[in-house]
């Protein structure tokens, strides 16, 4: 398979929607003819039946889909309950723990300005934070887990974004919030 065909496969894997040839050509900095040729190579490679995905031409573009022979197994996997996205309170709590760890529950509540019992409990149940001991006053001390780092694609906590470099204007903050909510909605769609 050519480098262009591999790149197209990666783009189709990343896209939740079918991608037209023109968009693939623009993204790959190639001609539509080159993209069509690479799609042919990709189609041939996937048609050999050695892979669990197939190439589909739908809705004016191309998309990767699971092999129909895998339908029963896919239904069993997807029938499992899905973990709901983090609420705003949970996301705020997780950010506080990630940046200030080790941190106690009262410190989290003081920073947020509201009690955080439920958020801390949910984050602990999901395995994103864990209790690491008690303060001298008996308050539980929390830190993030390895699962947190894995889910957020971090090799270590030193890879967390530097908060001093991010001071958005109210307009930037509104736009960022809308983008995050839109991304969350897209992930929640089956």
Please tell me the total count of domains within the chain: 2
Q: Do residues 89 and 119 touch, judged by C-beta distance below 8 A? A: yes
pLDDT of 142: 95
pLDDT of 164: 67
Which ranges of the chain have pLDDT less than 70? Answer: 1, 49, 81, 164, 166-168, 176-177, 180-190
Of the three residues 69, 102, 117, the one that is the final residue of a domain is 69
pLDDT of 116: 86
Is 167 found in the same domain as 97?
A: yes
pLDDT of 27: 94
Is 174 found in the same domain as 101?
A: yes
Give the DSSP letter of residue 34.
Answer: H
Is residue 121 a part of any domain in this protein?
yes
Q: At 53, phi and psi to the nearest 5?
A: -125, 160
Which CATH number belongs to the domain containing residue 61 in this structure?
Answer: 1.10.10.10
Is 46 found in the same domain as 93?
A: no
* Model confidence, pTM: 0.50
Is residue 79 a part of any domain in this protein?
no
Q: Do residues 38 and 78 touch, judged by C-beta distance below 8 A? A: no
Of the three residues 39, 69, 99, the one that is the final residue of a domain is 69
pLDDT of 109: 87
For the chain, strand residue ranges (E) read 53-58, 61-66, 103-104, 129-134, 140-144
pLDDT of 171: 79
pLDDT of 30: 93
Radius of gyration of the chain (CA): 22
Is residue 75 a part of any domain in this protein?
no
Place of tokens 């996205």: 85
Range of the domain at 101: 88-188
């Amino acid at each position: 398979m050519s480098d262009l065909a591999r790149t197209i496969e990666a783009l189709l894997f990343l896209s939740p929607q079918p991608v037209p040839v023109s968009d693939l050509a623009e993204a790959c900095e190639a001609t539509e003819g080159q993209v069509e040729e690479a799609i042919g190579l990709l189609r041939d490679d996937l048609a050999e039946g050695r892979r669990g995905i197939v190439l589909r031409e739908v809705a004016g573009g191309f998309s990767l889909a699971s092999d129909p022979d895998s339908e029963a197994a896919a239904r069993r996997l997807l029938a499992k309950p899905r973990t709901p996205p983090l609420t705003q309170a949970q996301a705020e709590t997780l950010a506080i723990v990630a940046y200030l760890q080790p941190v106690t529950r009262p410190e989290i509540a003081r920073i947020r300005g509201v009690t955080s019992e439920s958020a801390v409990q949910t984050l602990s149940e999901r395995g994103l934070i864990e209790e690491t001991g008690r303060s001298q006053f008996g308050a539980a001390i929390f830190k993030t887990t390895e699962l947190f780092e894995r889910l957020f694609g971090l090799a270590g906590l030193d890879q967390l974004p530097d908060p001093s470099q991010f001071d958005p204007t109210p307009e930037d903050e509104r736009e960022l919030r809308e983008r995050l909510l839109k991304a969350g909605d897209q992930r929640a769609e089956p």
